[in-house]
Amino acid sequence: MSRALKVSHILLLLAALAVSARAQDVPAAGARPLPASAFELDGFAGQVVLVDFWASWCAPCRLSLPWLNAMQQKYGERGLQVVMVNLDHKPGAAAKMAAEIAPGIRQFEDPEGVLAAQYELEGMPSSYLYDREGKLIASHIGFLKTEREPREDELAAALNRKEP
């Protein structure tokens, strides 16, 4: 291998490292889940935010994953931000599951249940819908297939709501 080729490889490697370091600064969908301490609702100002608490051992939570991903794909451009907070004690398998089923959604990990305790969850899954001003406009406990349509209507209405 010539010296010039080696140098170019090193430069490429450095460039890739710089890009990955920058990506960690701004948490993106599909990236590695962030700790619960990094969760701030204010960070999504101006967007309709659906915060969903889930766990891999919870059957209705698993049922909701494809729907949540579909909603993010469908309404993301209009300002919807789905945020999933995983509550598994050992979040490794859950992170893999979320990356496979809901790759377009921002993920947070809360193995100690700190955020869950703050929200005083009463069941699994629990979701909270905030409007563009950060005001809580709806909350749901559990997930049924029959709820998909009314829940989507609720999201669409929140997105259509004019700012005061």
| 33 token code pair | 């889940």
Contact region with other proteins (CB under 8 A), list: 9-17, 26-34, 72-80, 115-123: 115-123
Q: Is 83 one of the binding residues for other proteins (CB under 8 A)? A: no
- Give the single-character DSSP code of 145: G
Q: Is 109 one of the binding residues for other proteins (CB under 8 A)? A: no
From residue 21 to residue 60, what is the string marking binding to other proteins with x (rule CB under 8 A)? --------------------------------x-x-xxxx
C-alpha distances out from residue 86 to 33, 46, 118, 156, Å: 9, 24, 14, 25
Nearer to other proteins, 88 or 158 (CB): 88
Question: What count of residues does the chain have?
Answer: 164
Q: Is 88 one of the binding residues for other proteins (CB under 8 A)? A: yes
Rounded to a whole number of angstroms, the distance between the first and last alpha carbons of the chain is 64
